[in-house]
Amino acid sequence: GNPGVYVWTTPPVSSTTVKMDTDRNVTATFGKKIAITSPNGGEKLASGGNYLIEWITIPESVKFTIRYSCDGGATWSMVAKKVPGPNYNWSVPVVSNPHEDNCLVRVTAFDAANVKQGRDQSDGPFSIEAVTVTSPNGGESFTQGEQVTINWVTHATTAPVKKTLIRYSIDGGATWQTSAVLNGNPGVYVWTTPPVSSTTVKIKVSLKDASRKVVARDTSDGNFTIN
């Protein structure tokens, strides 16, 4: 089974670099009383959606406080208190910035007497996205003048989308060229690739409200090629 806890008798060795490796592919440093397993770095969360925060901990920990940060841990906002754990269905906030890519979750564990048992945070940053480019998203290869379908998925935004700006880069995102300005937010656009040869092409989709403020933005995760 998977009880989520195991009492381990330490071996007769002296070491400062001990680690535990479980069947759940979670590596926890020896002596750590709580370890976040998700989100733990690299995930993409939908703005305004739901996400299951998960962690493993010791039996003495019975309630948990959860916070999140979108500035790399400089400031923290409350998610929930007195959570019984070991998971919590988080209502992900609607992000006010067009693209949040430096987010972390922190969970603090307490015992029944409200004594702090430990604290952990995401090992690496994750993103909260109001729009996600799904294709082309890196690794594709196209020819010059080819018609390529650009697709994106929109999540919750702070204001209704009135315009969509499509841009492309042939230098990995250093500079951008406008391909189209669309009314509304169709989620798809057929793009004719430019007459250039490049292995570092990217697409950027920006969504704007009625005041022309960008409320969501995303870029291809990786480079693609035009031959």
pLDDT of residue 35: 94
Neighbours of 119 (CB within 10 A): 17
pLDDT of residue 10: 72
Across 100-128, average pLDDT = 96
Evaluate the omega torsion of the peptide bond into residue 136 and state whether it is cis, within 30 degrees of 0: yes
Question: What does R_g of the chain's alpha carbons equal in angstroms?
Answer: 22
Task: Write the CB contacts of 170 (distance below 8 Å, at least 6 apart in sequence).
Answer: 177, 194, 196, 198, 200, 201, 226
In this predicted model, what pLDDT tens digit does every residue of 80-96 receive, in sequence order? 999 998 999 999 999 98
Q: CA-to-CA distance for 175 and 191, rounded, in angstroms?
A: 18
- Is the pLDDT at 159 greater than 60? The verdict is yes
Task: Write the CB contacts of 193 (distance below 8 Å, at least 6 apart in sequence).
Answer: 142, 143, 144, 145, 146, 147, 148, 226
**Percent of the chain whose predicted confidence (pLDDT) is above 90:** 84
The model's pTM is: 0.81
The token pair at 41 is 């770095």
Report residue 55's pLDDT band, with 50, 70 and 90 as the boundaries.
very high
Across 23-47, average pLDDT = 75
pLDDT of residue 29: 43
Sign of CA dihedral 152, 156, 158, 161: positive
* Whole-number average pLDDT of the chain: 91
Strand ranges for the chain from DSSP E: 19-21, 27-29, 34-38, 44-46, 50-57, 63-69, 77-83, 87-91, 99-110, 116-121, 126-129, 131-135, 141-142, 147-154, 163-169, 177-183, 188-192, 198-208, 214-219, 224-226
The token pair at 163 is 């315009």
Domains recognised in the chain with CATH numbers = 19-129 (2.60.40.10), 131-226 (2.60.40.10)
pLDDT of residue 32: 74
pLDDT of residue 57: 93
